[in-house]
Amino acid sequence: MAMVSSDIWADELTVALPGATKPAIQQAFRATFREFCTQSGAWVRELPLIDIVAGQDTYPLDSKVSDASILYILVAYLRTVSGEDDHYRALKALQTPFHRTRQKGTSGYPRAFYSVTEAPATLVLTPVPAENIEDGLQVYVALGPKFPYEDEVPEFLRSHAYDVLLDGTLGRMMGQQDKPYTNTIGAQYYLRRFRGGIAQQRDMARRQYTSAESSFIFPPWAR
């Protein structure tokens, strides 16, 4: 993933925030970027295919990503190969411990998955897979900045969410009290734009940056 320096934003923000220092702007930008990633889930990555191992239900994903931290698992597919055809079946995401206990079992293919609450980048399959499946797991995750920060941002956000991050940082800075750049009305204005930008980016990411209205396709007999 190509990354760009956050200085691109910091340099422009310096003009709009008289009296602000660059380290303070960078700090606000980091918080804004983190909030943007968490709220929008717009930084999406398809992880390399994972081998499913018979009898192993837990698959840590952290090692699959080196330049970011995994915020949450968006979707996981069970991938099977039949002849020359790949088949993908979406695994159902489970959310409550109650469901998890009901899904215990060791027979057949996994049908669902859940994440470990205190280690969200850990995927647990259920039922426990009964056989090895090479490259059997395809996972999409939402990413956020890693710690410690390196003040780098995915390049696609420069072209697709430049103003959103600009607005968020401006609002965050202007909302601070007793600074030369304090501006409560400006903070409300820019944070409102930021929230709108987050919603738009979330929507765009879910549609894979296409203009599709929805994933539904009319069957041939109904066209």
Backbone dihedral angles phi then psi of residue 72, each to the nearest 5 degrees = -160, 165
Angle, vertex CA 35, rays to CA 30 and CA 36, nearest 5 = 95
Q: In this structure, are residues 164 and 197 in contact, taking their beta carbons and an 8 Å threshold? A: yes
The span of 25-33, 66-74, 88-96, 102-110 binding another protein (CB under 8 A) equals 25-33
Closest contact distance (angstroms) between CB of 9 and another protein is 15
Q: Is residue 176 at the binding interface for another protein, with CB under 8 A as the rule? A: yes
Using CB under 8 A as the binding rule, the residues of this chain from 2 to 21 that contact another protein are: 18-21
For the chain, how long is the longest CA-to-CA vector?
A: 68
Decide: 72 and 141 in contact? Cβ < 8 Å: yes
- 185 counts as binding another protein under rule CB under 8 A: no
Residue 170 · residue 190 · CB < 8 Å: yes
CA pair distance 102, 98, nearest whole angstrom:
7
Site for another protein in 111-150 (CB under 8 A): 148-150
CB of 23 to another protein, least distance (A): 4
Q: Assess 180 for contact with another protein (CB under 8 A).
A: yes
H or E, element range at 23: helix 22-40
Q: Which two tokens stand for residue 105?
A: 């079992």
Query: Which of 85, 118, 178, 213 contacts another protein by CB under 8 A?
Result: 178
By CB under 8 A, name the one of 8, 12, 16, 30 that touches another protein.
Answer: 30
- Please pick, from the candidates 92, 179, 193, 202, the single residue that binds another protein as defined by CB under 8 A: 179
Where along the sequence are the contacts to another protein (CB under 8 A)? 18-24, 26-27, 30, 148-151, 176, 178-180
